[in-house]
């Protein structure tokens, strides 16, 4: 039954899908082929009809994405690692500026340096668009911190630079918050008066 095994393998490559879930998925596709057709079509369109915005690097259905071509968006640039992060910020509905997608984070262990990311494009863009502020919205990981620090020193003097606040996640209890987060939350405490 090599066809089934190969299909299970193919689905196991997806993030968050282990061999057991892949098996369930494949057998569900066998019993309802129309689900499979729909996924085939969706994948087809993802690869044929999507491209990357030449300004911000986000996924887009045209040369320039909807956000970059929106005249109502402010000139602030929010720098993120990957397209999914743009979606997350857009869902909040709080941010009215634009984005810049780096396409990854600096990660020497995997051989990813600043030249592999869209950092030169960011610098050029900040100068051309006269962005008043650049928000570094990268993962709170070693790679994210390294990338933020690199960009921060590169852009010094060109724009106001800020980073996302770090602290206690909303709705979580102190008892279950790790010590690094706790000390960061303490150091960055906000004055109330």
Residues that bind a copy of itself (CB under 8 A): 1, 3-4, 6-7, 10-11, 13-17, 21, 23-31, 33, 35-47, 49-50, 59, 61, 66, 82-84, 87
Q: Closer to a copy of itself at the Cβ: 38 or 124? A: 38
Q: Closer to a copy of itself at the Cβ: 84 or 120? A: 84
Q: Closer to a copy of itself at the Cβ: 6 or 70? A: 6
The structure tokens listed for 131 are 């962005």
Question: Minimum CB separation from a copy of itself for residue 151, in Å?
Answer: 21
Question: Minimum CB separation from a copy of itself for residue 162, in Å?
Answer: 26
Total number of residues shown for the chain: 193
Q: Closer to a copy of itself at the Cβ: 44 or 127? A: 44
Rounded distance, CA 172 to CA 74, Å?
32
Question: Minimum CB separation from a copy of itself for residue 34, in Å?
Answer: 10
Cα dist. 190→41, 157, 177 in Å? 50, 26, 18
Rounded distance, CA 66 to CA 77, Å?
15
Rounded distance, CA 176 to CA 185, Å?
14
End-to-end CA distance of the chain: 69
Question: Minimum CB separation from a copy of itself for residue 153, in Å?
Answer: 28
């Amino acid at each position: 039954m090599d066809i089934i095994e190969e299909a299970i393998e193919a689905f196991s490559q997806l993030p968050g899908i282990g061999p057991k879930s892949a098996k369930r998925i494949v057998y569900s596709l066998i019993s309802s082929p129309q689900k499979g057709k729909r996924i085939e079509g969706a994948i087809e369109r993802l690869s044929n009809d999507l491209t990357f915005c030449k300004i911000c690097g986000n996924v887009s259905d045209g040369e320039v994405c909807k956000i970059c071509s929106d005249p109502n968006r402010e000139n602030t640039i929010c720098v993120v690692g990957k397209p999914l992060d743009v979606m997350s910020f857009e869902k909040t509905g709080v941010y009215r500026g634009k984005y810049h997608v780096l396409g990854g984070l600096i990660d020497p262990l995997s051989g990813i340096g600043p030249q592999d990311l869209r950092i030169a494009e960011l610098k050029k863009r900040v100068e051309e668009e006269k962005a008043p502020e650049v928000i570094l919205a990268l993962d709170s990981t070693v790679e994210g911190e390294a990338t933020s620090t690199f960009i921060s020193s590169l852009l010094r003097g060109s724009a106001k630079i800020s980073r996302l606040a770090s602290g206690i996640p909303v709705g979580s209890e102190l008892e279950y918050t790790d010590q690094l987060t706790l000390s960061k939350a303490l150091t960055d405490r906000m004055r109330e008066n």
